[in-house]
Amino acid sequence: MAKKRVKVDAKECIMCGACVGSYPEDFEFADDGTAKPITGEADEDSAGVCPVGAISFEE
């Protein structure tokens, strides 16, 4: 799947690590424990691993 511009809503993130564990090349933990994109782009399928829908993509 192609990579697209990604955003993580830190207010929605519950710090579960599903995105970091499933897509370690795309996400890492920020200093506050929330997830953040590493490069600003991620695999489109990564949104499906977030249990609260904090991952979104720009059109």
Task: Give the closest residue to 14 by CA, choosing from 58, 53, 56.
Answer: 53
pLDDT at position 48 is: 95
* CA end-to-end span of the chain: 15
pLDDT at position 1 is: 67
Q: What is the pTM of this model?
A: 0.90
The tally of CA atoms less than 13 A away on the side-chain side of residue 51 is 5
11-41 pLDDT, tens digit each: 999 999 999 999 999 999 999 999 999 999 9
Given a cut of 70, whether residue 45 has pLDDT beyond it is yes
Query: Where residue 52 sits, what CATH number does that domain have?
Result: 3.30.70.20
Q: Total domain count for the chain?
A: 1
pLDDT at position 58 is: 87
Q: Give the structural domain span for 22.
A: 3-57
